[in-house]
Amino acid sequence: MRKKMGLVEDDDRVRRRFAHAIGRSHEFELWFETGSMLSALEWMSQCPPDAWPSLWLVDLGLPDGSGLSVIRHALALHPQTQVMVVSMFGDESKVLDCIDAGAMGYILKGQGDEDILLHIEDLLHGGSPMSPIIARQVLSRFRMAREVQRPGRKSSGFGDALADPYLTARELDVLDWIARGYSYEEVAANLQVALNTIRHHVRGIYAKLGVHTKVDAINEARRRRWLDAS
């Protein structure tokens, strides 16, 4: 059975190109497409759970609103949904807003959209496809956060919760909730973010701590005295 996909893209040529690529695939089928934010939100609100797409491709610059609203609405209705942004906008604020909303991939138009099926397969198999310039922005942001929080420097406003220059305040929040026995779904509800956002933070925590399981992450964080040993 082919996986259902939703496409929100206002450029007719790009939408046709993506639709053609998806239509040639034996693994995916285009279940819904539109160039409008409002029509996407309306369709989502009326779509029965068993017909919900596994993945959404979303452009940000829509004629009647922002694709960010589409991302948030999709993940609010179905937290398991995978979302990949395909946009001409590559400024840092938009990238970080989309990641914070729960998007797990970000491709700039003209920088990889011809390989859209490869990016879709990567995303559905646990990857986070990004155009090189977007990946560089994300890495640079982490480096800046680490540099600002070097030992001996004053807090830059993130608060005392940022106990180490290597983990962000939000990553420490997530790790603390998990250490107290909460599930990913419960952590997402408590922090009022999408489930995919929690998973994104967990992957970052694992990578930074060099671990592969929740228990190992908790133990390592306690060893470094980032969490209460109790």
Can you tell me whether residue 68 is helix, strand or coil?
helix
What is the pLDDT at residue 35? 96
142 found inside a domain: no
User: Among 150, 124, 121, which residue's Cα sits nearest to residue 54?
Assistant: 124
The pLDDT score that the predictor gives to residue 12 is 93
Residues 22-67 pLDDT 10s: 988 888 999 999 999 999 999 999 999 999 999 999 999 999 999 9
Q: Taking 90 as the threshold, does the pLDDT of residue 126 lie above it?
A: no
For residues 118 and 34, the model is more confident at 34
Query: Is 141 domain-assigned?
Result: no
pTM, 2 dp? 0.63
Name the average pLDDT for the chain.
83
Q: Same domain, yes or no, for 9 and 111?
A: yes
Same domain, yes or no: 97 and 15 = yes
Considering the domain boundaries, does residue 91 fall inside one?
yes
Q: What percentage of the chain reaches a pLDDT higher than 70? A: 85
Bigger pLDDT: 74 vs 143: 74
State how many domains the chain has.
2
What does the alpha-carbon distance between residue 144 and residue 217 come to, in Å, rounded to a whole number?
Answer: 24
Final residue before a domain boundary, out of 136, 168, 190: 136
Q: Are residues 16 and 76 in the same domain?
A: yes
Range of the domain at 88: 3-136
Q: Are residues 57 and 130 in the same domain?
A: yes
Q: Is 57 in the same domain as 98?
A: yes
CB 180 within 8 Å of CB 188: no
Q: Domain check: are 20 and 87 in the same one?
A: yes
Which of 115, 136, 157 marks a domain boundary? 136
CATH code for the domain of 73 = 3.40.50.2300
pLDDT in tens, 205-222: 888 787 888 888 888 888
Residue 210 counted as domain residue: yes
In terms of phi and psi (left: phi > 0; alpha: psi -120 to 50; beta: otherwise), the region of 7 is beta
Same domain, 21 and 118: yes
Confidence of residue 141 (pLDDT cuts 50, 70, 90): low
Q: Which of 85, 105, 136 is a domain's end point?
A: 136
Of the ranges 65-79, 168-182, 183-197, the best mean pLDDT one: 65-79
Same domain for 47 and 101, yes or no, is: yes
